[in-house]
């Protein structure tokens, strides 16, 4: 803590060719009314000259780590988080712009309950024309079929999510993690599971934290804007490969065998849908994903033994987080046929 008694927040920003967004993100860091922060920038061998922005004297206090290659999101973040000295750690995507009170409100929410280990703010969508009132994330929702979405995503913000709450977990674009929680769930020094490389690594932290009895608080008072897609999403072969592989690693490592058994019909139906989707859009990615899963199976089983041995949360409590999945609602939303305000999940 500094002389004012506020805990140190370590912002860890992973950059990979973020030239279009990086200045806006860093300026929003400098504009925060919460002053006790350190900023650690990890660059995954960017080729767009985006780090040239750090020549500006305003960013002189920022620590910079330059990786020799693209280490992926998980390992890249772990490298920076290992240097973090703060009581709180905030991984930050370079395509996020925070409102000035964002960190203040996130830290305030983290102090509400000693078992709060992570915090989600209200993320709204940042578009090419600037800030919008479309929701990007108000925390994670996990369904019985083990599909995970951002609560309220793609819906106009009409105030449905203006009440503080507890959620399953937080979007990895701008979460706040308590360092003691990260240390509690770490595996051989890894906070993010480096087997994941990219995609669903934040959900893995959510699940591991829940198994260890930690809570995730949602505060609507903390507002930030997220471009979504600049750090990797969509239908690229790389993204599809890792999303498909990581869904299976996520379940294998964290799920209760009994809970999985009870939900097999809906889980396998979702798996079939994903199998067909990737088979017809990126068959090479499917083959690569299966190769990854076979290669990582022994390591993942070892991680499962450790994860399940350390769980303290009863299965019934975990079951309460798994919500029914409404296929028709999401199909309508993706086709633009539903009321964008949507129902609250």
343 pLDDT above the threshold of 60: no
> If you ran DSSP here, which 8-state letter would residue 226 be given?
E
Quote the Cα angle for 143-149-152, to 5°. Answer: 110
Nearest alpha carbon to residue 37 among 14, 4, 79: 4
- Region of poorest pLDDT, from 99-108, 187-196, 260-269, 328-337: 328-337
Q: Give yes or no for a contact between 223 and 102, defined as CB atoms under 8 angstroms apart.
A: yes
**Structure confidence at residue 292 as a pLDDT band (50, 70, 90):** very high
d(CA 293, CA 100): 42
Beta-carbon contacts of 99 under 8 Å, excluding residues fewer than 6 positions away, are 28, 222, 223, 224
Closest CA to 64 of 28, 15, 98: 15
Tens digit of pLDDT for each residue in 40-94? 999 999 999 999 999 999 999 999 999 999 999 999 999 999 999 999 999 999 9
pLDDT for 332 equals: 57
- Average pLDDT for 241-253: 97
Tokens of 296: 């990582």
pLDDT in the model for residue 285: 95
Show the CA angle centred on residue 89, arms to residues 79 and 68, nearest 5°: 20
Look-up of token digits 């750690």 = 89
pLDDT tens per residue, range 149-176? 999 999 999 999 999 999 999 999 999 9
């Amino acid at each position: 803590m500094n002389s004012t008694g506020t805990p140190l927040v370590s912002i860890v920003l992973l950059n990979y060719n973020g030239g279009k967004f990086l200045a806006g993100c860093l300026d929003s860091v400098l504009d925060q009314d919460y002053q006790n922060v350190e900023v650690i920038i990890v660059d995954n061998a960017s080729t767009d000259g985006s780090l040239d922005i750090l020549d500006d004297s305003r960013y002189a206090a920022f620590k910079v780590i330059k990786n020799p290659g693209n280490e992926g999101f998980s390992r890249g973040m772990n490298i920076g988080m290992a240097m973090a000295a703060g009581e709180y750690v905030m991984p930050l995507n370079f395509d996020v712009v925070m409102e000035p009170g964002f960190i203040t409100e996130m830290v305030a929410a983290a102090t509400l309950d000693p078992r709060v280990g992570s915090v989600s703010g209200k993320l709204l969508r940042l578009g090419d024309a600037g800030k919008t009132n479309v929701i990007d994330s108000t925390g994670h929702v996990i369904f019985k079929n083990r599909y995970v979405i951002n609560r309220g995503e793609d819906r106009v913000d009409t105030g449905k999510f203006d009440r503080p709450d507890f959620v399953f977990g937080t979007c990895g674009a701008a979460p706040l993690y308590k360092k003691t929680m990260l240390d509690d769930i770490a595996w051989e020094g890894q906070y993010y599971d480096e087997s994941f490389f990219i995609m669903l690594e934040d959900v893995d932290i959510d699940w591991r934290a829940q198994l260890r009895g930690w809570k995730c608080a949602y505060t609507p008072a903390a507002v930030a804007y997220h471009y979504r897609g600049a750090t990797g999403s969509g239908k690229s072969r790389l993204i599809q490969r890792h999303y498909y592989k990581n869904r299976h690693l996520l379940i294998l490592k964290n799920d209760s065998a009994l809970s999985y058994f009870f939900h097999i019909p809906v889980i396998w139906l979702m798996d079939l849908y994903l199998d067909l989707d990737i088979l017809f859009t990126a068959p090479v990615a499917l083959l690569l994903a299966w190769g990854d899963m076979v290669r990582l199976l022994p390591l993942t089983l070892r991680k499962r033994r450790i994860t399940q041995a350390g769980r303290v949360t009863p299965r019934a409590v975990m079951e309460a987080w798994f919500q029914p999945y409404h296929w028709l609602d999401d199909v309508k939303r993706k086709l633009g046929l539903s009321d964008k305000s949507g129902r609250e999940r």
